[in-house]
Amino acid sequence: MSEAKLLDGKAIAQKYQTKISQEFAMLYRGTNCKPKMVAIKVHDDQASELYLKSQKRSAEAAGVIHETVSVLNSSQNYLIQAIRKANQDSAVHGIIIQMPLPQHFNLEGILDSIDPKKDIEGITSFNLGQLVLRKNRLVPCTALSCMTLIEETGVPLRGKEAVIVGSSKVVGRPAALLLLDRMATATVCHIATTEAGMLESHVKRADILVVGVGKPGVIPGDWIKPGAIVIDVGINRINGKTVGDVEFETAKKKAGFLSPVPGGVGPLTVTILMRNLLTAYRWQLSDKTVTS
């Protein structure tokens, strides 16, 4: 069997970035309303700064105004005030909170203070609920990046066995719901699956495998079903190298399609953030049309 086809997130991102930029330009010409996003940060962190730079590059390419609001070393109430200010500003179409937040902050309360129409990460309770109801507009970016890579394979998903390892609300749970929407049979594995000794058996039957737990090599390559689509969301540093959650060298000899780390899900996530901003921008423009 030949080696897996690697899913080039950077190339796929560029394809979508071009289309997104064209659609922003078309809407701007028709409305004279410049799209704008606000990123709110509460700390100076190297990873956070790199993500901000990626956002700014993608925003600039799409003709979007990107503003960073710093509320460094502030209280939770001050952060919520900054969010509410952006909510009330009609010139702002998207809001993102730079993670992680201080441990003593109420994460759910902070996220749910974001106007759902401006929640371009798709992580408010409202937007996650809409996803459950199949009325989704704004979907968590990483989960949507996974689905975009899966769809790029061109493999029909109906009836396929999809196994998601990890049950976070930004990857595992929304990815499972998106796969259900495509008529795949979705199974979510978590810590109790491992405790019961069942993880290997689930992974071995997966036609589609999505892994996002943040543990390097947690999925041995020889567990992969021959020809499977494998999406590795993990980003881990080992001996100065960035590696995923799936044992790459063995996995690429068995999978049909494989997202590498780095170069798979990561480069696509910021472009999906811009796609969500485009959705939010349209949503808010349509509301203005209805109310005017």
Task: Output the domain CATH number for residue 189.
Answer: 3.40.50.720
Q: Are residues 111 and 192 in the same domain?
A: no
Q: What is the mean pLDDT of residues 258-287?
A: 96
Q: Is 191 annotated as a binding residue?
A: yes
Q: What is the pLDDT of residue 292?
A: 47
Q: Are residues 181 and 258 in the same domain?
A: yes
Q: Is 235 annotated as a binding residue?
A: yes
pLDDT in tens, 76-113: 999 999 999 999 999 999 999 999 899 999 999 999 99
Q: What are the C-alpha distances in Å from 75 to residues 57, 71, 81?
A: 30, 9, 10
The sign of the dihedral angle between the CA atoms of 8, 9, 12, 13 is: negative
Task: Output the domain CATH number for residue 71.
Answer: 3.40.50.10860
Q: What is the mean pLDDT of residues 115-119?
A: 98
Q: Is 167 annotated as a binding residue?
A: yes
pTM, two decimal places = 0.94
Q: What is the total residue count of the chain?
A: 292
Q: Is 145 annotated as a binding residue?
A: no
SS3 66: strand
Structural domain count of the chain: 2
Q: How many CB atoms lie within 10 A of CB 23?
A: 15
* Low-confidence winner among 28-37, 197-206, 281-290 (lowest mean pLDDT): 281-290
Q: What is the pLDDT of residue 290?
A: 53
Q: Are residues 40 and 103 in the same domain?
A: yes
Per-residue pLDDT at 1 exceeds 70: no
User: Which residue range is the domain that position 199 belongs to?
Assistant: 141-266
Q: What is the pLDDT of residue 289?
A: 61
* Low-confidence winner among 9-18, 79-88, 283-292 (lowest mean pLDDT): 283-292
Residue with tokens 């190298």: 241
